[in-house]
């Protein structure tokens, strides 16, 4: 069924990353518009009660893709995500016609380096932003920090590492600095401390090879709400300002749950 508020789409692909992390794709209504970094509201019907439960999910796919892609964790004891994780190709899923959220690069003016700091599934909006050509054209450097607990949770690592092999992005690919943080086991080449600690100590900047600077840096935070809050405090303590409507600053944030 399709209404003024939502359309009924179909799951076209499900990709498990670990026992509790998976991505899925759906068909996309031709009229569905979003700005990379925004989230969709998706609805899943409970077959027993026939009730629909809605949740917000950041869109991981590009604005020009014909499909929509989402990245999810199975929340232990969570009815919605466990139901979602059981969906298979061909199953229906509802997508609200409106897209939401302000984790978008149009919140910023000027700036030369775009820093994208993600924990867990908070990576999703940055994948969409990274697939926007304008992002690569507009910034001199793109810094993507992905923090996960274990190596197996480094979802999309291959895709992120393959921009230089892409026909479309190869010319820009040297702009990307990809930092992996794996907090609960040693992984060669990855950092081990939490992103907040790495920010506070200056080790993140050292590792990236760029300084956080009011003129140059525009910073986006997405993921664990405590990480977002603690990083926001750290950065506002260093004089970075959160962007507001009509008042562009240095920071854009999204709590992932
Ligand atoms: P997570 O616990 O958020 O950890 C992901 C990464 O973020 C890890 O490297 C972790 O480091 C780091 N981290 C956690 N808290 C931090 C903080 N305060 N400051 C800096 N870094 C921090 O893992 P997740 O797999 O994304 O999610 C874990 C659980 O959160 C899920 O199992 C689920 O219960 C819940 N969750 C719920 C939703 C929802 O929609 N309700 C969505 C996502 C996740 P450490 O290893 O040091 O902790």
- DSSP 8-state symbol, 41: E
- Residues 97, 98, 103, 108, CA torsion sign: positive
| Strands of 39-45's sheet in order across | 52-58, 39-45, 92-100, 6-16, 21-27, 67-73
- Rounded Cα–Cα distance for residues 251 and 105 (Å): 10
From residue 89, alpha-carbon distances to 24, 92, 101, 102 in Å are 9, 9, 28, 31
DSSP state of 63: T
State whether the beta carbon of 72 lies less than 6 angstroms from ligand 1.
no
227 CA distance to ligand 1 middle (Å): 8
* Beta carbon of 192 within 6 Å of any ligand 1 atom: no
Q: Is 164 in the pocket of ligand 1 (CB under 6 A)?
A: no
Residue 6: how many CB atoms within 10 A of its CB?
21
Q: Judging by DSSP bridges, how do beta strands 92-100 and 176-182 pair with one another?
A: unpaired
Q: Is the CB of 194 under 6 A from ligand 1?
A: yes
| CA–centroid distance, residue 128 to ligand 1 (Å) | 21
Best CA proximity match to 119, nearest among 208, 177, 195: 195
Q: Given this model, what pLDDT does residue 89 score? A: 97
Q: How does pLDDT run along the chain (257 residues), one tens digit per residue? A: 668 999 999 999 999 999 999 999 999 999 999 999 999 999 998 878 888 999 999 999 999 999 999 999 999 988 889 889 999 999 999 999 999 999 999 999 999 999 999 999 999 999 999 999 999 999 999 999 999 999 999 999 999 999 999 999 999 999 999 999 999 999 999 999 999 999 999 999 999 999 999 999 999 999 999 999 999 999 999 999 999 988 999 999 987 76
234 lines ligand 1 (CB under 6 A): no
Residue 44 CA to residue 42 CA, distance in Å, equals 7
What is the β-pairing status of strands 113-119 and 92-100?
unpaired
Alpha-carbon dihedral sign for residues 43, 154, 67, 218: positive
Structure confidence at residue 50 (pLDDT): 86
Q: pTM for this one?
A: 0.96
Which residues have a Cβ under 8 Å from the Cβ of 90 and sit 6 or more positions away? 10, 11
- Answer yes or no: are the C-beta atoms of 128 and 37 closer than 8 Å: yes
From the CA of 230, how far away is ligand 1's center (Å)? 13
176-187 in b/e form (b: 16+ CB < 10 A) is bbbbbbbbeeeb
How many other C-beta atoms can be found within 10 angstroms of the C-beta atom of residue 132?
18
The answer to whether residues 191 and 181 touch, using CB atoms and an 8 Å cutoff, is yes
Residue whose pair of structure tokens reads 């794709």 in the numeric block: 25
Quote the tokens at residue 26: 């759906």
Closest ligand 1 atom to the C-alpha of 76? 34
């Amino acid at each position: 069924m399709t209404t003024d508020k939502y359309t009924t789409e179909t799951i076209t692909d499900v990709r498990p990353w670990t026992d509790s992390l998976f991505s899925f794709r759906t068909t996309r209504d031709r009229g569905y518009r979003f700005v990379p970094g925004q989230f969709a509201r998706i609805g899943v019907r409970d077959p027993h009660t026939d009730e629909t439960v809605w949740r917000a999910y950041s869109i991981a796919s590009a604005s020009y893709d014909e499909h929509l892609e989402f990245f999810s964790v199975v929340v232990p004891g969570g009815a919605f995500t466990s139901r979602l994780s059981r969906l298979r190709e061909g199953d229906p899923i509802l997508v609200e016609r409106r897209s939401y959220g302000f984790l978008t690069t149009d919140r910023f003016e000027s700036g030369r380096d775009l820093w994208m700091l993600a924990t867990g599934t908070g990576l999703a909006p940055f994948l969409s932003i990274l697939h926007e050509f304008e992002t690569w054209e507009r910034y001199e450097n793109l810094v993507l920090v992905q923090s996960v607990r274990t190596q197996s949770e480094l979802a999309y690592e291959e895709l992120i590492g393959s921009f230089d092999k892409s026909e479309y992005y190869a010319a820009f690919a040297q702009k990307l600095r990809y930092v992996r943080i794996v907090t609960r086991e040693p992984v060669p080449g990855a950092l081990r401390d939490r992103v907040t600690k790495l920010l506070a100590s200056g080790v993140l900047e050292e590792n990236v090879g760029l300084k956080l600077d009011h003129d140059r840096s525009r910073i986006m935070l997405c993921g664990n709400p405590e990480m977002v809050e603690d990083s926001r405090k750290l950065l506002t303590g260093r004089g970075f300002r959160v962007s507001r409507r009509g008042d562009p600053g240095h920071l854009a944030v999204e709590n992932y749950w």
